[in-house]
Amino acid sequence: MQIQKNFQGKDTESNIKNKPLPPGSFGLPLIGETIALAWDIHSFYRQRLKKYGPVFKTHLFGKPVIVFIGPEAFTFFLNQEYFTREDGNPQPVRELLDWDALPLLDGEEHRRRKRLILQAFTPQAFDKYIPVMEQNAAYYLERWEKLGSFTWLNEYRKMCASLSNALFVGRSPGSESEAVGKIMDTFIKGFSAVPINLGFNGYGKALKSRDWLLSYLDRAIAQHQEQPQQDILGVLLAARGDDGSTLTEDQLRREVLHLFFAAYSGFYVALTLLSLTLAQHPEIMARARQEVNQYAADGALNMEKLQKLVYLEQITKEIRRFYPINAATFFAKVKTDCEYKDFRIPKGWGAVAGIHTTMHMPQVFSEPESFKPCRFAPEQFATLPPNSYVPQGGGAKDGHRCPGEDMITVLLKVMAVHLLRRYTWELLPQNLEFNRDLFPTPRDGLKVRFGIYSP
């Protein structure tokens, strides 16, 4: 019999078997609590945290699952001795990712691929992407100036489809990007659809969109092989590991599929929240504008200039803490019987960590329901407990943490600079409640009046 130590190194397997399971409910037979999760993913985790505390059991996608919330529980969940992502995710997530991508892997192969992919997300690489971001911003800012009033979420969707198409596969803005954006929207809806493929329903359409996107990427890979380019696909085609290994063509197309739609949705959601925040907090907008005037009043941007924008950085961090973007990490599977806080964590069960709920724990973030960028002043940020600020996952960069983390910071700063150099905007009367989408945004899509700023 294998003897297991717990994470505090004090218990044996037979002792673990005698421990109670965490509190919680398995819900209805067969479907468990899956419908409640699909109905409103953020409320699902919030309500159960309130009822059961930071570690609870539930039943999702046909499997018992333990949920971990808060910095300490999150750290435990990241321990690879006890948890693996392999076979951890529900079948529809795996099928939508075409059965093979970073969130579905673990161990050596995950680390190898992740390190190759991270080669496209270095500060040197960002210096190449920043001009693309600026060109895209200039095109859309001119359009918005002419429009005067518009629904920003729709506009950001178009802009971010065009931006991801340019950054990943080197395409110039145009109608093709808008069509690709619509296909990505249909694909993304598949993650919260009833997972039955009837062809014409939400899940069926999402799978067709996945196949369309894969063949679009196949064509882009073939073109890049003929004529090497400097975009993300170009960097990934050229990426080499320490041992000389590369991504095979099959791995590349699937990884880029994930990066491509994650970037598109991450970009437009984060930018919509940036515009909302600045409109709702005139004092924050004024201070950010002052910083832009001081360090980036004109001229092309680069990483060196962006690094001086310390207050903007705090705003971008608080946006990702404050708003309900991701409710939880991808799913994992318990590798071996273990215990946490005197609860039994059984081998074979699913596991997941709460993201938004972890970042709203008052023990770590005082007045968590207030929007306060100052909580991310560099000296305060440095004192946060490990895995308390986890908008894009926790742990090491070559673990399951989001590879797009720094890219979002860069994009938000670039866009904020271009907005604040010249423009101002105000919210029009509308419903600002958040919808129940996978990544929630204001119900009416953020209607604004937009114009030139005059001091």
Q: Which residues are annotated as a binding site for heme?
A: 402
Q: What is the x/- site pattern for ligand HEM, positions 403-422, by CB under 6 A?
A: xx--xx--------------
What angle is formed at CA 272 by the lines to CA 234 and CA 34, rounded to 5 degrees?
Answer: 90
Using rule CB under 6 A, residue 257 touches ligand HEM: no
Tell me how far, at minimum, the Cβ of 78 lies from ligand HEM, in Å: 8
Tell me how far, at minimum, the Cβ of 435 lies from ligand HEM, in Å: 17
Nearer to ligand HEM, 128 or 421 (CB): 128
Type of residue numbered 363: Q
Using rule CB under 6 A, residue 326 touches ligand HEM: yes
Using rule CB under 6 A, residue 259 touches ligand HEM: yes
Cross-strand partners of 436: none
Burial environment of residue 204 by CB neighbours within 10 A (0 to 12, 13 to 18, 19 or more): middle
Stretch that binds ligand HEM, among 200-208, 239-247, 307-315, 389-397 (CB under 6 A): 389-397
Cβ-based neighbour number of residue 163 at 10 Å: 29
Nearer to ligand HEM, 177 or 424 (CB): 177
Cβ-based neighbour number of residue 108 at 10 Å: 8
The DSSP-derived string for 124-193 is: HHHHHHHHHHHHHHHHHHHHHHHH-EEEHHHHHHHHHHHHHHHHHH-PPSSHHHHHHHHHHHHHHHGGGS
Using rule CB under 6 A, residue 90 touches ligand HEM: no
CB under 8 Å to 142, separation ≥6 — which residues? none
CB under 8 Å to 233, separation ≥6 — which residues? 168, 169, 170, 217, 220, 221, 224, 252, 256
Nearer to ligand HEM, 16 or 309 (CB): 309
Tell me how far, at minimum, the Cβ of 60 lies from ligand HEM, in Å: 15
Number of residues that bind ligand HEM (CB under 6 A): 24
Using rule CB under 6 A, residue 270 touches ligand HEM: yes
Q: Residue 422 and residue 418: Cα distance in Å, rounded?
A: 7
Binding-site residues, in ranges, read 402
252 within 8 A of 260, measured Cβ to Cβ: no
Stretch that binds ligand HEM, among 13-21, 63-71, 318-326, 375-383 (CB under 6 A): 318-326
Using rule CB under 6 A, residue 325 touches ligand HEM: yes
Tell me how far, at minimum, the Cβ of 274 lies from ligand HEM, in Å: 10
Helix/strand/coil percentages in the chain, nearest 5: 50, 10, 35
Stretch that binds ligand HEM, among 174-182, 191-199, 297-305, 395-403 (CB under 6 A): 395-403
Using rule CB under 6 A, residue 103 touches ligand HEM: yes
Which residues from 197-256 bind ligand HEM, rule CB under 6 A?
Answer: none
Using rule CB under 6 A, residue 317 touches ligand HEM: no
Exposure string of 173-199, with b = 16+ CB inside 10 Å and e = fewer, is beeebeebbebbbbbbbbbbbebebee
Stretch that binds ligand HEM, among 180-188, 219-227, 233-241, 324-332 (CB under 6 A): 324-332
Which residues from 337-376 bind ligand HEM, rule CB under 6 A?
Answer: 355
Using rule CB under 6 A, residue 400 touches ligand HEM: yes
Cross-strand partners of 361: none
Tell me how far, at minimum, the Cβ of 53 lies from ligand HEM, in Å: 22
One residue of 41, 262, 284, 448 binding ligand HEM per CB under 6 A: 262
Q: What is the x/- site pattern for ligand HEM, positions 114-143, by CB under 6 A?
A: x-----------------------------
Assigned token pair, 130: 């920043």
Q: Among all residues, whose Cβ is closest to ligand HEM?
A: 404
Q: Residue 205 and residue 198: Cα distance in Å, rounded?
A: 9
Q: What is the DSSP letter of 118?
A: H
Tell me how far, at minimum, the Cβ of 290 lies from ligand HEM, in Å: 25
Cross-strand partners of 447: 151
Stretch that binds ligand HEM, among 236-244, 259-267, 310-318, 371-379 (CB under 6 A): 259-267
Tell me how far, at minimum, the Cβ of 169 lies from ligand HEM, in Å: 13
Q: Residue 315 and residue 288: Cα distance in Å, rounded?
A: 9
Q: Using CB under 6 A as the criterion, which residues of the chain lie in contact with ligand HEM when the complex forms?
A: 102-103, 114, 258-259, 262-263, 266, 270, 320, 325-326, 329-330, 355, 391-393, 400, 402-404, 407-408
